[in-house]
Structure 1
Amino acid sequence: MTISERPYGSWPTPITSELVTAAAVRLGEVRVDGADVVWAEGRPAEGGRTQLVRRTPDGATTDLLPDGRNARTAVHEYGGAAWWVHDGVVWFTDWADQRLYRLAPGGEPEPITPEPVAPRADRYADGDVAPDGATIVCVRERHAGSSAADVRNEVVRLASDALSEPEVLVSGPDFVAAPRLNPDGTSLAWLQWNHPSMPWDDTQLIVRDLESGEETVVAGGPGESVLEPRFEPDGSLLFLSDRTDWWNLYRWTPGADIVPVVRLDAEIGEPAWVFGSARYVRLDDGRIVFARWREGRDGLAVRQTDATLVDLDVPFSAIAAVRAAGPDAVVVVAGSPAAEPGVHRVEVSSSTVETLRPPRDLGLEAAQISVPEHITFDSVDGSGAPRRAHAQFYPPASADSSGPEGELPPLLVQIHGGPTSAAMPVLSTGVQYWTSRGFAVVDVNYGGSTGYGRAYRQELLGEWGVIDVADCLAAARRLAEQGRVDGDRLCIRGGSAGGFTTLAALARDDTPFAAGADHFGVADLEALAADTHKFESRYLDRLVGPYPQARDVYVERSPIHHVERFTRPLIVLQGAEDEVVPPNQSEMIVDALRARGTPVAYLLFEGEQHGFRRAENIRRALDSELSFYAQVLGFDLPVEEGIEPVVVENLDQHSSFGS
């Protein structure tokens, strides 16, 4: 094949915004129900709704939810664990009204929770069916007013097969999660925590005898995050804890000491932004299969009954869920650098993989896929002291294009949300959209990211807007120094918390970035502290400082107070119904830049919340951002894609890039 020399950014590519969304799904949780496997699919082509799919042993698949139904909960606004299944019956929270529904085989969804006093005022998540199948325990979030202070989070119990008034079992803590019943239904375990902690900071694991009411604090407290409690058949309790820096696996037996089950310098747990994490599972013979993140990559391993640890030879680099599927198998949602996530069955003894729900066949050659390289580089903390940071680096990749002789590619510094999340090394058409056009991308796991232990995660405490920015600057400058990217064409993009870091990196007199893209990011930390949902309403106490005592820090780090430093073009993309980062955050920064004559583009997407779910909006956001870079960096858009140019206000007043 002939390789054509073309300007970076303008390479023709099969990875268009249409391909990004065509037949695309976001695979979520997976459950095993007898011989069947059930999983969740978020479908952009269906307005972003979450459908549930059942696969029987003969390979046949069936959509379970009728048209118009959407298995999605608004608890904590981020949701998760909106559905569960037992003996053929599915229970799910419907996005429209947030009531809990029961769906029997061959039937229609029937509500089993009362009509709330106000629309969507009662929200349900994270359920567990009692061993006898008669009742359910789950989390209920009750909104009694319009402010975060009016929200109450509880564990409730209700009938599994009929409309009933839920019985409150746990109330009082600011937050509860993971209610789990023991094998005979006589004991309840759950997690709880209080403001200003987040679930990756300090949580407690509690067990209550449901007959006597006696409670035991099993683990957790200040300085310890506990996750994923699961009872074993003998009544002992497995859980994840980061008491030794890494989220590892432990066992508690009533009347005995806690003992470690899996101890290694790797992360089994993940931050509980959503309910329903499933990073380990016990097989019937006592072996435990678990996912573990180490050195920028996920893997699958098994703890044998003699306590030895064996890595499984599987091709996955990112694993979202692990469920038992028989005596010697697990089902996982997992992907690799060369394949989007799929649902796979893994034989543990042989590492044999059977794909149950394949990822899309994108029709791409290997040369068209950019494979990430995990890099570690020098950075600094807020005082200038040296430290190390991490990232996934994606070079440009094309089967038929190369850049002009003597030129280097532009770089997109990509910043994940959270900020307690991670850049995952799994095939993403959203990344390949850029690399296949001639952009390099570096996805930064800045200090505060998950996957490198508690100490690394805590580097961001009190330093949000400092260490994350420093690591993004360090990554970009290091790649430019190494001659891997063009130091005059460094751009930065991020969503949510990543949007804040984008804005903070641009609001600097010494910014190296030529342009930036802010997806529903935070412009005013004070406004966020005053106007966000309960789950994150005290998050900034630790990331920035207690408010209003630390108001001067909030002002100093808020990009909205430094608009005079914005000299680089910015595009802002925002969902009109975002409850996490409301539209006023984006509009403040856009209005300020307009008034100053700084180049700015703004797109507001009706019907979208925190993150875009509808295919047409995902396409428009991607193509608009590309159009923005084309205008700012000076390359042509591919004519054959028919991309509608985005309007960049004040661009005629802006000097050439990198000046």
Structure 2
Amino acid sequence: MTASTSPQSAAFGLWPSPISAATVAAGATPLSQPQADGLDAYWLAGRASEGGRTTLLRQRGAELLELTPAPFNVRSRVHEYGGGAYLVAAGTVYFSHFADNCIYAIYPGQTPQAITRPGSARYADFARDAARNRLIVVREDHAVPGAQPVNTLCAVGADGTETILAHGSDFYAAPRLSPDGASLAWLSWDHPRMPWQGTELWLAHINPDGSLAPATLIAGGPEEAVCQPEWSPAGVLHFVSDRSGWWNLYRLAEGTVQPLCERAAEFGTPHWTFAVSMYGFRSDGEIICTYIENGVSRLAQLSPETGKLAPITNPYEEIRELRVGGGAALILGGSPTIPLELAHFDLASARPHVLARSITDLPADGYLSIPESITYASGGNGQRTAHAFYYPPCNAGVTPDATEKPPLMVIGHSGPTGMAASTLKLATQYWTSRGFAVLDVNYGGSSGFGRAYRDALKGQWGVVDVDDCVAGAHYLATRGVVDPERLVIRGSSAGGLTTLCALTFHDVFKAGASYYGVSDLKGLDDDSHKFESHYNEYLIAPKPESDMQYLLRSPINHTDKLTRPMIFFQGLDDKVVPPQQSEVMVSALRAAGVPVAYMTLEGEGHGFRKADSIVRTLEAELYFYLRIFGLTSPEQPAVVAIDNLPGAA
């Protein structure tokens, strides 16, 4: 695409843009979970045009092969969020198929064949135990209807026979077998903790019959979050711990835990999904790692013996995953000018060879907004510092009206321990290329800024996150770069609660959009799946003290205060935040005469994967804001029905 040679004048919000909703849906291919096997590279790619199916690809030399054609869907539902859905070991692929939750194997030169049978179990985070011809997996068994599932570490034989290796904890993750096959390390944790609050790292010898000897606690506890245990080629156990207040690297050497590189940086991320990798071994004496410092990812070489961290030049400011092998690294990364991509990074030459891009057809640079990383005071007395990325409107084909300021869209990310990154996203450029400014907020509670920042949300969900979004809007309005009368806020899941609270308890934003957002904290407890069933004890308060806080903070209990127009989007198959949470809010707004729109999507759960869903929701949200701001005429075809708005369909 090329920029227009004759810039035209248009109102903010109505700028003609080459980035359509269909462009966003078609152009953004989700990429995840890279793995290396010898010289072969593997990764998962989303297929929005195929109902959101996820497929496994392999790059071997110049040949790109899809190993799991339709109807296979490489995805796990363990903890509902999944991850760790496949493993490659010596040319054989093992994966979880979403439709039946079975484990399948793809042996060299063959098609997928089931190892396990359909039933009540789900599987994730595979490790290959070659000496015993079995997999070691995290198993989640839903055998008892209405009861919480049972999580275990389980061995799965080539014939599908399942043997429980470890049980008794509420959750398990990261089974990692030593190079000699003699020992197994893993993580576990129990309610009410989430894995970024406190986990335990265990180590056990494997008996001759394949069972585990009594395990030894290596690290972790209620106030120490351990993640990503890995073995060096020589069989030394390494892991990431936040015992210092930052997720740093450690190793177990001669029976003691030793820090490798003490630094105010994050070498790990919250365990929402399985098998995320942030470091790997080039050799026993060299670790290749990525870490987050001031919200930006760095790539480096770390010497375990000296603790020296040597930067590796690379083009990425966000590195989501890193796998090391064969003198190279597989990097899943992006930057403000690079959409998420998978690169084979030659460590000797420090040159990336791109294997896959999430977006293959980018608009011209003149239509891409480059974010500014900003910090600003927040909280009641400005005692805290909040972080965000500010995206100004950008469109080479338009001459902005110098007498006007753009509307501002504030985004509260989901999680709520997630992190807003600066990687180029068409979904953001969709708005900035139309004349909206965007503020992507890393509110208190976000990851990437150390444990203290993450713990700022302890007991303060619906307060600190909201304060930081409100303060960010005030900050930009005070700077005179946005229109204070056209401030909107949007969010999904936990960010939906932030959105609803901001509109209910503050008089700053003029409208908002909730994507499968939380409105009822008690209802969230009642309906939540096992993984998050006690999360509110951390975010709000332990029971029974939480009852009063639920009443005070749940927007569903204060619908009389919600007087700003809103649009709601809800997947009808959502098991994390059920549709009832949106429906009660919509009904209340309709009854109160507040402009409201509601779009439901069949076949969508917690997060929209289908291309049609992405197109419909983006177009509806834009139409909604334009109608609220009076920028469209009643004669314009309605994209979504808006109740209580004069002249709306």
Same fold (TM over 0.5): yes
Q: Tell me, yes or no, if the aligned pair for 1:403 and 1:409 is still in contact at 8 Å.
A: no
Please state whether the residue corresponding to 2:95 is helix, strand or coil. strand
In structure 2, the residue matched to 1:646 is 640
- What are the superposed Cα offsets for residues 447-495 of structure 1, whole Å, 9 maximum, x if unpaired? 0000100000000000000000000000000000001111110000000
In structure 2, the residue matched to 1:498 is 495
* One-letter code aligned to 1:533: H
2: CA distance between counterparts of 1:577 and 1:652?
Answer: 32
In structure 2, the residue matched to 1:70 is 73
Q: Does 1:178 align with 2:163?
A: no
2: CA distance between counterparts of 1:486 and 1:524?
Answer: 31
Of 108, 111, 114, which aligns to 2:114?
Answer: 111
2: CA distance between counterparts of 1:245 and 1:277?
Answer: 20
Identity of aligned residues (%): 43
Q: Does 1:356 align with 2:352?
A: no
In structure 1, the residue matched to 2:26 is 22
In structure 2, the residue matched to 1:81 is 84
What is the CA-CA distance between 1:635 and the residue it aligns to?
Answer: 1.8
In structure 1, the residue matched to 2:368 is 369
- What are the superposed Cα offsets for residues 565-612 of structure 1, whole Å, 9 maximum, x if unpaired? 111100000000000001011111111111111110000000001000
- With the length of structure 2 as denominator, give the TM-score of the two structures: 0.96
Q: Tell me, yes or no, if the aligned pair for 2:30 and 2:358 is still in contact at 8 Å.
A: no
Q: Tell me, yes or no, if the aligned pair for 1:24 and 1:43 is still in contact at 8 Å.
A: no
Q: Tell me, yes or no, if the aligned pair for 1:303 and 1:310 is still in contact at 8 Å.
A: yes
2: CA distance between counterparts of 1:78 and 1:529?
Answer: 17
In structure 2, the residue matched to 1:486 is 483
Please state whether the residue corresponding to 2:131 is helix, strand or coil. coil
Q: Does 1:588 align with 2:593?
A: no
What is the CA-CA distance between 1:400 and the residue it aligns to?
Answer: 1.1
Please state whether the residue corresponding to 1:262 is helix, strand or coil. coil
- What are the superposed Cα offsets for residues 13-47 of structure 1, whole Å, 9 maximum, x if unpaired? 11101111125310011011111101100110111
Please state whether the residue corresponding to 2:551 is helix, strand or coil. helix
- What are the superposed Cα offsets for residues 87-118 of structure 1, whole Å, 9 maximum, x if unpaired? 221111110010111112332222212332xx
2: CA distance between counterparts of 1:187 and 1:516?
Answer: 52
What's the RMSD between the two structures over aligned residues? Answer: 1.7
* One-letter code aligned to 1:236: V
Please state whether the residue corresponding to 2:36 is helix, strand or coil. strand
1: CA distance between counterparts of 2:339 and 2:79?
Answer: 27
In structure 2, the residue matched to 1:566 is 562
2: CA distance between counterparts of 1:233 and 1:54?
Answer: 25
Q: Tell me, yes or no, if the aligned pair for 1:88 and 1:104 is still in contact at 8 Å.
A: yes
Matches within 5 A, 1:462-611: 462-508=459-505, 510-611=506-607
Q: Tell me, yes or no, if the aligned pair for 1:597 and 1:653 is still in contact at 8 Å.
A: no
Matches within 5 A, 1:238-637: 238-253=238-253, 255-304=254-303, 306-326=306-326, 328-380=327-379, 384=381, 386-508=383-505, 510-636=506-632
Q: Tell me, yes or no, if the aligned pair for 2:28 and 2:426 is still in contact at 8 Å.
A: no
In structure 1, the residue matched to 2:188 is 192
* One-letter code aligned to 2:155: R
**What are structure 2's unaligned runs of at least 5 residues?**
none
1: CA distance between counterparts of 2:587 and 2:67?
Answer: 46
2: CA distance between counterparts of 1:417 and 1:314?
Answer: 28
Q: Tell me, yes or no, if the aligned pair for 2:234 and 2:284 is still in contact at 8 Å.
A: no
2: CA distance between counterparts of 1:263 and 1:346?
Answer: 26
Q: Does 1:154 align with 2:152?
A: yes
What is the CA-CA distance between 1:547 and the residue it aligns to?
Answer: 3.1
* One-letter code aligned to 1:645: V
* One-letter code aligned to 1:89: T
1: CA distance between counterparts of 2:322 and 2:285?
Answer: 15
What is the CA-CA distance between 1:163 and the residue it aligns to?
Answer: 2.7
2: CA distance between counterparts of 1:185 and 1:565?
Answer: 61
Q: Could you say if the C-alpha distance between residues 163 and 23 of structure 1 is closer, same or farther in structure 2, counting changes exceeding 3 Å? A: farther
Please state whether the residue corresponding to 1:469 is helix, strand or coil. helix
What is the CA-CA distance between 1:550 and the residue it aligns to?
Answer: 2.0
* One-letter code aligned to 1:485: V
- With the length of structure 1 as denominator, give the TM-score of the two structures: 0.94
* One-letter code aligned to 1:77: E
| Number of equivalenced pairs | 638
1: CA distance between counterparts of 2:277 and 2:637?
Answer: 40
2: CA distance between counterparts of 1:582 and 1:72?
Answer: 21
In structure 2, the residue matched to 1:657 is none
Please state whether the residue corresponding to 2:522 is helix, strand or coil. helix
- What are the superposed Cα offsets for residues 148-197 of structure 1, whole Å, 9 maximum, x if unpaired? x43111100111xx332210011110100001111111111110001110
Q: Tell me, yes or no, if the aligned pair for 1:435 and 1:441 is still in contact at 8 Å.
A: yes
Q: Tell me, yes or no, if the aligned pair for 2:232 and 2:284 is still in contact at 8 Å.
A: no
In structure 2, the residue matched to 1:140 is 139
* One-letter code aligned to 2:644: N
What is the CA-CA distance between 1:620 and the residue it aligns to?
Answer: 0.2
What is the CA-CA distance between 1:403 and the residue it aligns to?
Answer: 2.4
* One-letter code aligned to 2:411: Q
1: CA distance between counterparts of 2:138 and 2:575?
Answer: 20
What is the CA-CA distance between 1:358 and the residue it aligns to?
Answer: 3.5
Q: Tell me, yes or no, if the aligned pair for 1:79 and 1:125 is still in contact at 8 Å.
A: yes
